[in-house]
Chain A
């Protein structure tokens, strides 16, 4: 141990440069590889187990659900959708999708089926709905694709519907599920959004009965959601504490899809 008394030699500047560069670029390279691997894992992660939601990579679906929880905190019935004068409403209302409303349908025989918590099924006619006070709204309808259009709808407020048909008990559950008569298109709504004061069971468009391709005789207008949640030709409504089936959530879209 004859060297033990000699002090450790001071590093030269060049050695310091080399040492720091080596460490920094080493860490940089490792982080780069880790980032690349991490991205590859995420990008190629297995798809979620198909259920109420489907079609997304499993970790991406978890992220969508977590983001929903974060933004639900900002939801409030006091946050109203901006409304416009009727003169600004589009005369040619954009028609984007026909899922669930393509088949032959006897509008005269239509009745809205509402399943209550006790299993009882209410059969409600369009005249019963039209007999109640009408609410109109002119607002900017927004599609998940990115387009929007100012549209004019009229119908029965969801909260009025709930009250009139004695569904207050059902409205305490977490979700509302709506389906077309052929059950091919379904929409699941978190109850706060469904009960937003601007959510409407619409039977009029531009002051006239809704045309067939826009969802006659009764469709949903829910301005706090993207268009995909605005189900046409509602056949049935049910309530539950679990997420009801939702057509686009099963195609890989966010279940919440709130605005």
Chain B
């Protein structure tokens, strides 16, 4: 028999879907700003393997010669990005939802098993509640990253008024590099996230919009290890 199982709170769903377009705009406007002084590359022993970013990337996304516009959008949507993040964080702390989110001691070991399972190398996945071990680590990391973007952003934006923050980020250059790397991190997170969402299927996706999952008692649960087996 089918039953409805509540999964994601309304607030978690709202902040998730508000964050998606806001972060997209932040990354896009950030790329426009970065273009004006695009000095980063992956260079080892004098050989440049990749330049951020190739001209084709700029041309395709119409990034170049729009610094003033990029700054205006970046410094408007930063407010929404920050506010949305603060709301989510406060809710997660106050509601106790952090218990399902934060990695546990065993998560770091289990995440490896989850990875092997997802790659079809292992049949069994560790038992889980709302999030599996890999999700706990990934979703906590993305919150920490968001906070990092905010702090490094402030360090670059007002390095005189918030000199202490700039100092904590290791200086102006370091703050700018971290800000950039975090952004690249979001893009990678997004790619893996999308693949996982597609693989997880409709029931999982619906939960992030409608809040609930449908549990079918006739269908067996996915194979999981019992804690006892896991000890071996």
> Which residues in A have some Cβ–Cβ distance to B below 8 Å?
13-14, 16-17, 20-21, 23-25, 28, 31, 35, 39, 55-57, 60-61, 63-64, 67, 71, 74-76, 79-82, 140, 142-148, 223-224, 251-254, 258-259
Contact = CB atoms under 8 A, between A and B. Distances in A.
A254 B71 contact: yes
Interface string B24-57: 0100000001101101000000000000000000
Given A140-B172, A146-B37, A224 B160 contact: yes
Interface of B: 1-4, 17, 21, 25, 33-34, 36-37, 39, 67-69, 71-73, 75-76, 79, 158-163, 172-173, 176, 206, 209-212, 214
B160 A39 contact: no
Nearest to B3: A13
Nearest to A72: B161
A144 B209 CA distance: 40
Contact of A24 (B69, B75, B163, B210): B210
Given A21-B206, A63-B75, A259 B158 contact: yes
Nearest to B210: A24
A23 B210 CA distance: 8
Contacts of B37: 143, 145-147
Given A14-B2, A56-B72, A21 B34 contact: no
Contacts of B33: 146
Given A17-B2, A63-B76, A142-B172, A74 B68 contact: no
Given A39-B21, A144-B67, A146-B36, A82 B163 contact: yes
Contacts of B17: 28, 31
Secondary structure type dominating chain A contacts = mixed
Top 5 closest pairs, chain A to chain B, by CB: A146-B37, A24-B210, A252-B68, A145-B36, A63-B76
B158 A74 contact: yes
A192 B29 CA distance: 30
A35 B80 CA distance: 13
A151 B209 CA distance: 54
A252 B69 CA distance: 7
B160 A81 contact: yes
Contact of A259 (B4, B36, B160): B160
Contacts of A67: 75-76, 79
Contacts of A143: 37
Given A39-B21, A142-B172, A74 B162 contact: yes
Contacts of A81: 160
Contact of B209 (A24, A146, A254, A259): A24
Nearest to A73: B161
